[in-house]
């Protein structure tokens, strides 16, 4: 089930805290409040993912605003899926994810981003110097 991970909600809250800081140090801007309510419920219920289908509209709008500031694709223009690999060595996405990226929802895309970031096995997560050392071995 696709959902919005708590770390994305944290990032969206921080985005909005920078974009609309509290004028008095106590009052939260409406987007921050909307996201904070979802976040608080997730913490209370020990959940790390929220169902985007039941996300409150104002919180979803605030999350979407943050999402629009993130990179759309993890592609680094070194696509090994075009050479027959099931997972791209460059970005870490599967062949299916690369082929259907444009049709994926923002929530689905963030799920892929989270997975490939946690795996950190794709070249996009290493330095080019590290890859050069691999070739020498």
From first to last of its 137 residues, the chain has per-residue pLDDT tens of: 679 999 999 999 999 999 998 888 889 999 999 999 999 999 999 999 999 999 999 999 999 999 999 999 999 988 898 888 899 999 999 999 999 999 999 999 999 999 999 998 898 887 655 555 665 55
Do residues 111 and 2 lie in contact, with contact meaning Cβ atoms separated by under 8 Å?
yes
Q: How many CB atoms lie under 10 A from the CB of residue 37? A: 14
> How many domains, the chain?
2
120 in the Ramachandran plot: left (φ > 0), alpha (ψ -120 to 50) or beta?
left
Q: How many CA atoms lie within 13 A of 65 on its CB side?
A: 19
Both 36 and 17 in one domain: the answer is yes
Point out which residues pair with 50 in neighbouring strands.
4
Is residue 6 within 8 A of residue 63, CB to CB? The reply is no
Could you list the residue range(s) of the whole structural domain that residue 90 is in?
Answer: 72-137
What does the block give as tokens for 132? 């050069």
Q: How far apart are CA 65 and CA 58, in angstroms?
A: 11
Q: Based on the domain organization, do 21 and 84 belong to the same domain?
A: no
Q: Kindly state whether residues 47 and 8 are assigned to the same domain.
A: yes
Query: Looking at the structure, do residues 80 and 116 belong to the same domain, yes or no?
Result: yes
Residues 66 and 78 in one domain: no
CA geometry: angle at 104 spanning 39 and 40, to 5°?
Answer: 5
pTM of the predicted model as reported, rounded to 2 decimal places: 0.82
Residue 49 sits in the same domain as residue 12:
yes
Which of 41, 70, 99 terminates a domain? The answer is 70
- pLDDT attached to residue 83: 86
| Domain boundary, last residue among 26, 50, 70 | 70
Is there a single domain that holds both residue 54 and residue 40? yes
Quote the pLDDT of residue 135.
Answer: 59
Judgement on whether residues 62 and 93 belong to the same structural domain of the protein: no
Same domain? 49 vs 15: yes
Q: Which of 34, 53, 70 is the last residue of a domain?
A: 70
Rounded CA-CA distance 26/4 in Å is 27
**At which residue do the structure tokens 């999402």 appear?**
67
Burial profile 99-119: b = 16 or more Cβ within 10 angstroms, e = fewer: eebeeeebbbbbbbbeebeee
């Amino acid at each position: 089930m696709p959902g919005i991970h708590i770390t994305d909600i944290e990032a969206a809250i921080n985005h909005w805290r920078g974009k609309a800081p509290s004028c008095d140090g106590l009052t939260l801007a409406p987007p921050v409040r909307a996201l904070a309510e979802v976040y608080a419920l997730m913490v209370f219920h020990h959940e790390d993912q929220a169902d985007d289908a039941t996300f409150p509209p104002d919180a979803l709008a605030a999350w979407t605003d943050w999402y629009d500031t993130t990179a759309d694709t993890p592609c680094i223009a070194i696509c090994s899926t075009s050479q027959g690999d099931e997972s791209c060595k460059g970005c870490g996405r599967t062949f299916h994810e690369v082929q259907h990226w444009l049709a994926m929802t923002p929530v689905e895309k963030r799920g892929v981003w989270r997975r490939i970031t946690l795996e950190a096995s794709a070249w996009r997560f290493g330095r080019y110097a590290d890859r050069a050392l691999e070739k020498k071995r």
